[in-house]
Amino acid sequence: MGLTAYLEGARVLVRGALGVSRATVGVDRVGEQTFVDRKRICASCEAASPRKATGIQGLKLLTPMSRCKDCHCLIQLKTSLATERCPRGKW
């Protein structure tokens, strides 16, 4: 692994840890409706994984450990923070 890849990995790790900390203590949280809207958008996105079928055709639900394949975030946490953005520009 090159130095650039190592530094990028470290940056992502630190940023993720800060996000988890903010979400845990309730700092920078979005309102409930924004949170629900963001999760709904993520649940319909092909980058969200894993998703589980609901029995309703085409409807998938996020699991508590669902991650975004683009930014590798935990969707449950990222969608709750006002300082975060979708890497695909969907919210």
Neighbours of 42 (CB within 10 A): 23
* 37 CB-near residues (< 8 Å, 6+ apart): 91
Q: Do 42 and 48 touch, CB atoms closer than 8 A?
A: yes
Phi-psi domain of 89 (left: phi exceeds 0; alpha: psi -120 through 50; beta: other) = left
Residue whose token pair is 């709750």? 80
Amino acid at 37: D
pTM above 0.85, yes or no: no
Residue indicated by tokens 């190592």: 6
Provide the residue-wise pLDDT of the chain in tens; the chain has 91 residues. 688 877 777 777 777 777 777 767 777 889 999 999 999 999 989 999 877 766 666 567 888 889 999 988 889 889 999 989 999 999 9
Residue ranges per structural domain of the chain: 3-78
The pLDDT of residue 61 is 82
